């Protein structure tokens, strides 16, 4: 084809498209969900295949989680050997990040250390300098070795030679054997690692510790994707049959690396919701786009016929279609790229916990998505073109009546689109209702006039005051401040992301917490904590300053282990280990069951929590204050009280609990708003599409209606005939399509298994009533002017 023709076609298309506002709107509508999904994909890639770890072979590593009810943790050490015995090609890796002190003469800094078992060569992590061989699963007792991060090497050693030099860490000599690759930042999203040390050397490096898993420990499984898939399918059965895990423990695997499981769940949950909303919107916009494209066929077909009369050959007309389709796809791609920042804003509003500077732009994913979209659009256009060319006869210049095939095509398309709209509206309403419930969920605490105060306490002071009654003293002094109703200490203030663990067991030695060592979420609180935060008791009451052997548990824990029992019979055992490793058991009487307190927000199910008494301060506490004072007055008063206790209290921060809840509610509100907007968009588009389709069909059938009327048919009979014809096509397609869509929505866990049939049926009936009403009104109008269509 000549360049002249190509240029002519491009110029003509550009002129036409710039005036075609409907097409531009539809392309824009198509681009919004695409750009949001692209952003979601970026976040998923960033969190699921984080490049900051330096790992090249993501397919060979899976996060391995032991899940018991709502509890999630790394798998226990004792499971490693049986797993390896059964799946010898797999390796279990542990990672734990912590802070350690440099102890050399010129050093006193705290650095961030990551204990990592090994597997560097398999994962494709290659040292920038030196070798990581010594860090590959070293045996106990081998020399302490470390690899330092590239950034630490640059900042601390200014890029000088460090291999085989000694790093004095925690009083031990650690030999630097390698520098991690430049793209390595950490194995854990929350830390910026300075030094990597083999996990097996944790015990040697840190005294008085154990190899027990902690909430900071991650376990991973390393191996080929086939072996990982096999393990994923059979692990639970095998480990249960071998009596290594109880039936209520699940072995879960996912692709996340270095993210706390609850954060992963929270992010994935929101990502899932975003994917649902915008996938629905994308499908809908895509259907609208195709409908628009098909609708444009009549004028396009006319144009091509006229071009044919003007001397265009078949090849040239085919070339024109190809050029126009390519230009359309380019337009969609450009709009997608232009709208990408809007998508980012939408996603950001729903995932505030995600640091967007960490999110990598997956160019390959973007190209793949655009390629898929291109292929899909081209395919649909080709099919449409073929069908219309083959089956729909045209008679240019002699006027037109609707043919049966055109009517069938329009009704089928209308039925399909409306079925998508019905399911979309249904899912959106379900989402709305779920989000509304979450927003209305009882957090288990009261926000009104509640404040959280946090402070810093130097380590030296911590030791001085640790054995005194400072906690009690502080609480008493705070409660003496005018207009302070109550004040209390806690280790786990709401939304503070702090946690504290102790080993709790039931009297029959069943672990209450995760892992074989029962790491149980345990808060140390002052007696009036529950009053201060506004929590209510399901049964029993709080402890007093004197009742040191009493504990309070939350409702989740009570329901799990003591359901149906009296408080009198409810006891828990706390196990502690002394310096020699001897385990000591301390029995505690449960004297109260408090309603669950959702300290991480309503969409994170609380763990089983034990509340025990604290008399003294360890420096990690937060203070919950119930006061009618304003924030500034209260802060001054609290600072004064803290200073009377010890002048070393620093950096007092006072935050209203209400503002924290508001921040936590923001993403849910954003989801709620987006769902409403998406639902409205879908509903309005459906209405417009339905009205215009019915109008077009009726307009083109007007002459046939008029003839029927002239021959003696009543208006009602004409309308009934058309309505029957429509319903004969509409009902089977809609019901089948809804069934298929719901089946896939259920498979993908987009909707709850107990489908709310009342809502679904109501929406369907409303849509049917609407379409029949539209048909009735349109036909009635035409029949009023029937003479006009006959003359």
Segment contacting other proteins (CB under 8 A): 12-20, 490-498, 644-652, 699-707?
A: 12-20
The reply to whether 10 sits near other proteins by the rule CB under 8 A is no
From 166, 253, 312, 768, residue interacting with other proteins (rule: CB under 8 A): 312
User: In whole angstroms, how close is the CB of 696 to other proteins at the nearest point?
Assistant: 17
Strand ranges of the sheet holding 484-490, from the earlier edge strand across to the other edge: 484-490, 622-627, 450-456, 650-656
d(CA 88, CA 467): 50
User: In whole angstroms, how close is the CB of 316 to other proteins at the nearest point?
Assistant: 6
d(CA 204, CA 141): 8
N residues, the chain:
791
Segment contacting other proteins (CB under 8 A): 15-23, 436-444, 612-620, 667-675?
A: 15-23
The reply to whether 321 sits near other proteins by the rule CB under 8 A is no
Contacts of other proteins in 388-417 (CB under 8 A) = 396-397
The reply to whether 696 sits near other proteins by the rule CB under 8 A is no
Segment contacting other proteins (CB under 8 A): 1-9, 35-43, 286-294, 626-634?
A: 1-9
The reply to whether 586 sits near other proteins by the rule CB under 8 A is no
Can you say how many angstroms the Cα of residue 705 is from the centroid of all Cα atoms in its chain?
A: 54
User: Count residues contacting other proteins (CB under 8 A)?
Assistant: 26
Phi, psi of 175, deg, nearest 5: -85, 130
State the Cα torsion 260-266-269-272 to the nearest 10°. -70
d(CA 649, CA 384): 74
From the CB of residue 596, how many other CB atoms can be counted at a distance below 10 Å? 21
From 105, 311, 564, 712, residue interacting with other proteins (rule: CB under 8 A): 311
User: In whole angstroms, how close is the CB of 386 to other proteins at the nearest point?
Assistant: 19
CB nearer to other proteins: give 209 or 302.
Answer: 302
Segment contacting other proteins (CB under 8 A): 6-14, 127-135, 467-475, 708-716?
A: 6-14
Long-range CB pairs of 391-400, under 8 A, 24+ apart, other chains included = 394/301, 394/305, 396/302, 396/305, 400/700
The residues near 701 (Cβ < 8 Å, ≥ 6 apart) are 401, 402, 407, 722, 782
CA atoms within 13 A on the CB side of 35: 22
Tokens of 391: 């089956």
User: In whole angstroms, how close is the CB of 378 to other proteins at the nearest point?
Assistant: 23
d(CA 573, CA 506): 6
The reply to whether 2 sits near other proteins by the rule CB under 8 A is yes
CB nearer to other proteins: give 306 or 684.
Answer: 306
CB nearer to other proteins: give 4 or 563.
Answer: 4
The reply to whether 299 sits near other proteins by the rule CB under 8 A is yes
From 9, 38, 339, 465, residue interacting with other proteins (rule: CB under 8 A): 9
User: In whole angstroms, how close is the CB of 778 to other proteins at the nearest point?
Assistant: 24
CB nearer to other proteins: give 142 or 313.
Answer: 313
CB nearer to other proteins: give 307 or 541.
Answer: 307
The reply to whether 363 sits near other proteins by the rule CB under 8 A is no
From 84, 173, 306, 383, residue interacting with other proteins (rule: CB under 8 A): 306
- The DSSP annotation for 320-340 comes to HHHHHHHHHHHHHHHHHHHHH
Segment contacting other proteins (CB under 8 A): 141-149, 304-312, 378-386, 720-728?
A: 304-312
From 108, 139, 164, 310, residue interacting with other proteins (rule: CB under 8 A): 310
The reply to whether 309 sits near other proteins by the rule CB under 8 A is yes
User: In whole angstroms, how close is the CB of 12 to other proteins at the nearest point?
Assistant: 7
From the CB of residue 544, how many other CB atoms can be counted at a distance below 10 Å? 12
d(CA 772, CA 447): 51
Phi, psi of 52, deg, nearest 5: -65, -15
The reply to whether 19 sits near other proteins by the rule CB under 8 A is yes
CB nearer to other proteins: give 312 or 429.
Answer: 312
Contacts of other proteins in 136-165 (CB under 8 A) = none
From 18, 89, 246, 302, residue interacting with other proteins (rule: CB under 8 A): 302
CA atoms within 13 A on the CB side of 181: 15
Segment contacting other proteins (CB under 8 A): 3-11, 273-281, 327-335, 369-377?
A: 3-11
650-656 vs 450-456, strand pairing mode = antiparallel
Segment contacting other proteins (CB under 8 A): 7-15, 44-52, 212-220, 486-494?
A: 7-15
CA atoms within 13 A on the CB side of 696: 18
- The DSSP annotation for 95-121 comes to EEEEEEEB-STT---EEEEEEE---HH
Q: Are 501 and 521 in contact (CB under 8 A)?
A: yes
The reply to whether 16 sits near other proteins by the rule CB under 8 A is yes
CB nearer to other proteins: give 109 or 302.
Answer: 302
From 59, 313, 441, 714, residue interacting with other proteins (rule: CB under 8 A): 313
Is residue 143 helix, strand or coil? coil
Segment contacting other proteins (CB under 8 A): 167-175, 295-303, 533-541, 605-613?
A: 295-303
User: What letter would DSSP give residue 164?
Assistant: T
Q: Are 17 and 332 in contact (CB under 8 A)?
A: no
User: In whole angstroms, how close is the CB of 4 to other proteins at the nearest point?
Assistant: 6
From 14, 15, 110, 121, residue interacting with other proteins (rule: CB under 8 A): 15
User: What letter would DSSP give residue 263?
Assistant: H
Tokens of 307: 């071009």
User: In whole angstroms, how close is the CB of 678 to other proteins at the nearest point?
Assistant: 32
Q: Are 693 and 410 in contact (CB under 8 A)?
A: yes
d(CA 392, CA 394): 6
User: What letter would DSSP give residue 606?
Assistant: P
The reply to whether 26 sits near other proteins by the rule CB under 8 A is no
Which residue reads 């939304």 in tokens?
Answer: 495
Q: Are 74 and 260 in contact (CB under 8 A)?
A: no
Q: Are 66 and 514 in contact (CB under 8 A)?
A: yes
Segment contacting other proteins (CB under 8 A): 303-311, 553-561, 615-623, 733-741?
A: 303-311
Segment contacting other proteins (CB under 8 A): 76-84, 263-271, 308-316, 433-441?
A: 308-316
From 5, 203, 327, 331, residue interacting with other proteins (rule: CB under 8 A): 5
End-to-end Cα distance, the chain: 47
CB nearer to other proteins: give 8 or 242.
Answer: 8
d(CA 678, CA 70): 32
User: In whole angstroms, how close is the CB of 2 to other proteins at the nearest point?
Assistant: 7
From 108, 161, 247, 314, residue interacting with other proteins (rule: CB under 8 A): 314
Q: Which of 565, 568, 541 is nearest to 553 (CA)?
A: 541
Segment contacting other proteins (CB under 8 A): 277-285, 299-307, 545-553, 760-768?
A: 299-307
CB nearer to other proteins: give 316 or 780.
Answer: 316
The reply to whether 7 sits near other proteins by the rule CB under 8 A is yes
User: In whole angstroms, how close is the CB of 313 to other proteins at the nearest point?
Assistant: 4
Tokens of 597: 């307190």
Segment contacting other proteins (CB under 8 A): 8-16, 683-691, 750-758, 774-782?
A: 8-16
Which residue reads 């950034």 in tokens?
Answer: 151
The reply to whether 651 sits near other proteins by the rule CB under 8 A is no
User: What letter would DSSP give residue 53?
Assistant: G
Residues engaged in binding other proteins (CB under 8 A):
2, 4-5, 7-9, 12, 15-16, 19-20, 299, 302-303, 306-307, 309-316, 396-397
């Amino acid at each position: 084809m000549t360049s002249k023709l190509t240029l002519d076609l491009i110029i003509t298309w550009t002129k036409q498209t710039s005036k075609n506002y409907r097409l531009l709107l539809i392309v824009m509508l198509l681009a919004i969900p695409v750009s949001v999904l692209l952003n979601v994909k970026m976040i998923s890639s960033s969190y699921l295949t984080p490049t900051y770890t330096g790992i090249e072979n993501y397919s060979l590593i899976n996060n391995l989680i032991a899940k018991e009810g709502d509890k999630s943790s790394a798998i226990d050490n004792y499971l490693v050997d049986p797993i390896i015995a059964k799946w010898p090609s797999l390796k279990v890796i542990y990672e734990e990040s912590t802070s350690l002190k440099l102890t050399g003469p010129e050093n006193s800094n705290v650095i961030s250390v990551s204990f990592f078992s090994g597997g560097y060569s398999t994962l494709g992590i290659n040292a920038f300098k030196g070798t990581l061989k010594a860090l590959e699963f070293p045996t106990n007792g081998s020399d302490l070795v470390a690899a330092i991060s590239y950034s630490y090497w640059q900042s601390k050693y200014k890029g000088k030679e460090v291999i085989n030099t000694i790093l004095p860490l925690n009083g031990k000599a650690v030999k630097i054997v390698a520098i991690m690759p430049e793209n390595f930042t950490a194995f854990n999203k929350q830390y910026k690692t300075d030094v990597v040390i083999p996990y097996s050397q944790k015990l040697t490096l840190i005294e008085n510790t154990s190899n027990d898993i902690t909430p900071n420990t991650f376990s991973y499984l390393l191996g080929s994707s086939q072996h990982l898939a096999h393990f994923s399918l059979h692990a639970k059965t095998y480990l249960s049959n071998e009596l290594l895990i109880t039936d209520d423990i699940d072995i879960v695997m996912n692709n996340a690396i270095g993210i706390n499981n609850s954060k992963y769940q929270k992010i994935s949950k929101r990502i899932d919701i975003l994917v649902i909303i915008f996938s629905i919107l994308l499908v809908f916009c895509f259907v609208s786009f195709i409908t628009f494209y098909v609708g444009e066929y009549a004028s396009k077909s006319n144009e091509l016929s006229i071009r044919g009369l003007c001397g265009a050959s078949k090849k040239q007309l085919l070339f024109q279609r190809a050029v126009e389709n390519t230009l359309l796809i380019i337009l969609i791609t450009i709009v997608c790229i232009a709208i990408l920042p809007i998508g980012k804003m939408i996603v950001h509003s729903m995932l505030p916990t995600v640091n967007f500077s960490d999110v990598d732009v997956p160019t390959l994913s973007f190209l793949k998505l655009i390629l898929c979209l291109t292929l899909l659009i081209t395919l649909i256009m080709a099919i449409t073109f073929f069908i219309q060319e083959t089956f729909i006869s045209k008679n240019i210049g002699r006027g037109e009546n609707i043919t049966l095939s055109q009517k069938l095509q329009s009704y089928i398309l209308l039925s399909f689109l409306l079925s998508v709209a019905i399911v979309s509206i249904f899912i959106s309403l379900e989402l709305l209702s779920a989000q509304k419930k979450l927003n209305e969920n009882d957090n288990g605490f009261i926000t009104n006039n509640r404040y959280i105060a946090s402070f810093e306490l130097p380590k030296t002071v911590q030791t001085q005051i640790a054995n005194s009654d400072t906690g009690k003293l502080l609480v008493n002094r705070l409660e003496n401040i005018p207009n302070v109703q109550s004040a209390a200490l806690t280790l786990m203030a709401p939304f503070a992301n702090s946690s504290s663990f102790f080993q709790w067991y039931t009297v029959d030695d069943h672990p209450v917490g995760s892992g074989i060592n029962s790491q149980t979420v345990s808060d140390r609180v002052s007696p009036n904590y529950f009053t201060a935060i506004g929590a209510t008791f399901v049964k029993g009451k709080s402890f007093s300053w004197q009742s040191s052997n009493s504990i309070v548990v939350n409702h989740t824990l009570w329901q799990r282990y003591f359901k149906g029992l009296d408080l009198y019979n409810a006891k828990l055992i706390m196990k502690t280990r002394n310096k020699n490793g001897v385990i000591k058991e301390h029995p505690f009487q449960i004297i109260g069951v408090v309603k669950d307190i959702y300290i991480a927000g309503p969409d994170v199910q609380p763990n089983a929590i034990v509340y025990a008494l604290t008399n003294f301060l360890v420096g990690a506490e937060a203070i919950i204050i119930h006061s009618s004072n304003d924030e500034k007055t209260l802060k001054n008063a609290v600072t004064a009280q803290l200073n009377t206790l010890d002048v070393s209290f620093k950096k007092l921060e006072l935050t209203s609990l209400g503002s924290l809840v508001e921040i936590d509610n923001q993403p849910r509100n954003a989801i709620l708003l987006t769902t409403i907007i998406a639902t409205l968009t879908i509903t309005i588009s459906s209405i417009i599409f339905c009205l215009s389709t019915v109008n077009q069909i009726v307009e083109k059938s007007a002459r046939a209606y008029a003839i029927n009327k002239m021959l003696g048919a009543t208006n009602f009979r004409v309308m009934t005939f058309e309505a029957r014809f429509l319903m004969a096509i509409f009902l089977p397609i809609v019901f089948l399509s809804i069934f298929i869509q719901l089946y896939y929505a259920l498979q993908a866990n987009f909707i709850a298994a107990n489908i709310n049939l009342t809502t679904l049926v109501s929406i369907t009936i409303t849509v049917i009533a609407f379409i029949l009403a539209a048909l009735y009104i349109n036909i009635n109008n035409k029949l009023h002017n029937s003479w006009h269509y006959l003359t």
